[in-house]
Amino acid sequence: MIFNPLDPAVLSDPYPHYRRLQREDPIHWGASGDPQRDGCWYVTRYADVVTALKEPRLGREIWRVQPEQTGVTVNNTQRPLDELSKGWMVLRDPPAHTRLRRLVQHTFTPRMIERLTPRMTEIVHHLLDAVIERGEMDVLRDFALPLPVTIIAELLGVPLVDQPLFLPWSQALAAVIEFEQNAAIGAAGSRAVQELADYLHTIIAARRRAPQDDLISALVTLEDEGQRPSPEELIGTLTQMLFGGNDPVVHLIGNGLLALLQHPAQLARLRADPALMETAIDELLRYDSSVQMTFRYVLEPLELGGGALRVGDLVAIVMGAANRDPAHFPDPDCFDVARRPNRHLSLGQGIHYCIGGPLARAEAHAAFSGLLARLPDLALTDAPLIWRRAVAVRGLVALPVRF
């Protein structure tokens, strides 16, 4: 058995394939999307996934053991992207990761999310107002995609007139952390990085002169242990915030709404009892997680679940498989909006636990509350559902609905 996550059958429904791996080869050496690599380890059982997420010998900084691999793209001539990625917290290990994470922790607070929640609701209703007379929409294009991009742009303090710029930048940057890479993806990401960095330099300079009540101003004036973040740290942190949370939230909404529409009894249960929304969001995160995998490199040799991992090997930690592990979740293929307990791994574990998780949950709460309240006759159309050729973030190409 050679597992390939880009096989069309796997893209369409990965869960039977995950289950087979869990039974037969839970630490599996399979196909890699990197043409320069002969394979990749896939970790699929819940207990092993938790161990891998917390294991310091599995890290991001591959250049520590293989100096020739310095970037996130196959084509290392993409210098703007290569350099900026060094400032992305998600691609760093301690001690750099620790410092970069502290920068963001000062700003992603419960108080900030509470203050932003009414505005999230306004944006949800604004987006629904724009489509409700049509009686149909593509949920991804018309609703799920503009929602988190608008929220993060407003949080950062981007002027309203400039917010449309962030959508193509966000999409180009999200592509560079996907499983399958090529020169075109790297070039597009590099262009987006350069344009975004130039834009952010202008905004940062303006906030240094005249701080406002926004996240960029907070980061510009922040001191951490007597030090202010460098310009490179600021640009890297802001860039990661732009793309890091958008794509997963888009497909949390898309995958989650699809699951609800495919399980009408559960949808009716949630409509009848909105107090179930919090447990429902956990189940949407578990049942068909938008974040299916995260990747690490082996920085020191180790054994995991019977597999001998070598220095430099690529490891795919498959949270999507762990979330359906029958050894941890009773009846894991059953979709239950009231499931408790629900210790899914969609937001990670360990030092890389998703710092934007509370914001993503708040966005999902506003999105699903608005959809269920405003669109009582919401239903799928007869159009075929096509899944993206992507494995790190699972999602549909489009989700057409009528109402």
The DSSP secondary structure of 251-291, one letter per residue, reads HHHHHHHHHHHH-HHHHHHHHH-GGGHHHHHHHHHHHT-SB
- 149: in domain: yes
Full residue range of the structural domain in which residue 56 is found: 8-402
What letter does residue 58 receive in the DSSP assignment? E
Average pLDDT over residues 162-188: 71
Q: What is the pLDDT of residue 74?
A: 40
Average pLDDT over residues 105-113: 80
Q: Which of 225-234, 262-271, 287-296 has the least mean pLDDT?
A: 225-234
pLDDT digits (tens, 9 = 90+) for 334-343: 999 999 999 9
pLDDT band at 195 (very low <50, low <70, confident <90, very high): confident
- 320: in domain: yes
Q: What is the pLDDT of residue 274?
A: 95
What letter does residue 224 receive in the DSSP assignment? B
- 2: in domain: no
Helix and strand tally (H, E) in the chain? 17, 10
How many domains in the chain? Answer: 1
Given a cut of 80, is residue 320 above it in pLDDT? yes
Q: What is the pLDDT of residue 189?
A: 72
pLDDT digits (tens, 9 = 90+) for 238-272: 888 777 778 899 999 999 999 999 999 999 999 99
Q: Say whether the peptide bond before residue 95 is cis (omega within 30 degrees of 0).
A: yes
Average pLDDT over residues 364-385: 97
Q: What is the pLDDT of residue 217?
A: 87
CB distance 393 to 251 below 8 Å: yes
Amino acid identity of residue 190, one-letter, is S
CB distance 383 to 397 below 8 Å: no
| pTM of the complete model | 0.91
Q: In terms of Cα–Cα distance, which of 280, 390, 394, 296 is closest to 344?
A: 280
pLDDT band at 21 (very low <50, low <70, confident <90, very high): very high
Given a cut of 90, is residue 400 above it in pLDDT? yes
Q: Give the pairing type, strands 40-43 and 314-318.
A: parallel
CA-CA distances (angstroms) from residue 207 to 92, 107, 113, 156, 219?
A: 27, 16, 22, 11, 10
Alpha-carbon distance of 282 to 284, in angstroms, equals 5
CA-CA distances (angstroms) from residue 91 to 23, 34, 79, 188?
A: 31, 17, 16, 19
Q: What is the pLDDT of residue 166?
A: 77
* Burial (CB count <10 Å: 0-12, 13-18, 19+), residue 114: exposed
Q: Give the pairing type, strands 379-380 and 400-402.
A: antiparallel
Q: Which of 2-16, 195-209, 247-261, 290-304 has the least mean pLDDT?
A: 195-209
Mean pLDDT across the chain: 88
Given a cut of 50, is residue 103 above it in pLDDT? yes
Given a cut of 50, is residue 75 above it in pLDDT? no
Q: What is the pLDDT of residue 148?
A: 92
- 72: in domain: yes
| Radius of gyration for the chain, computed over Cα atoms and rounded to the nearest angstrom | 21
- 3: in domain: no
Q: What is the pLDDT of residue 73?
A: 44
Q: Which of 208-212, 249-253, 288-292 has the least mean pLDDT?
A: 208-212
Residues whose CB falls within 8 Å of the CB of residue 151, separated by 6 or more in sequence, listed in order: 116, 119, 120, 123, 359, 363
Q: Which of 23-32, 119-128, 159-168, 223-232 has the least mean pLDDT?
A: 223-232
Could you tell me the CATH number of the domain that includes residue 35? 1.10.630.10
- 398: in domain: yes
User: Please, what is the end-to-end C-alpha distance for the chain in angstroms?
Assistant: 44
Strand order in 400-402's β-sheet? 136-138, 400-402, 379-380
Given a cut of 60, is residue 224 above it in pLDDT? no
Between 396 and 81, whose confidence is greater?
A: 396
Residues whose CB falls within 8 Å of the CB of residue 107, separated by 6 or more in sequence, listed in order: 215, 218, 219, 222
Q: What is the pLDDT of residue 267?
A: 98
pLDDT band at 379 (very low <50, low <70, confident <90, very high): very high
Specify which residues 298 forms β-bridges with: 58
Given a cut of 80, is residue 70 above it in pLDDT? no
Amino acid identity of residue 203, one-letter, is I
Average pLDDT over residues 267-289: 98
- 1: in domain: no
Alpha-carbon distance of 120 to 141, in angstroms, equals 18
Q: What is the pLDDT of residue 37?
A: 77
Average pLDDT over residues 262-291: 98
Average pLDDT over residues 68-87: 56
pLDDT band at 67 (very low <50, low <70, confident <90, very high): confident
Average pLDDT over residues 112-120: 91
- 117: in domain: yes
Q: What is the pLDDT of residue 79?
A: 55
Q: What is the pLDDT of residue 26?
A: 97
Between 12 and 213, whose confidence is greater?
A: 12
φ/ψ of residue 43, rounded to 5 = -105, 120
E-assigned strand segments in 305-392: 307-309, 314-318, 379-380
Average pLDDT over residues 24-46: 88
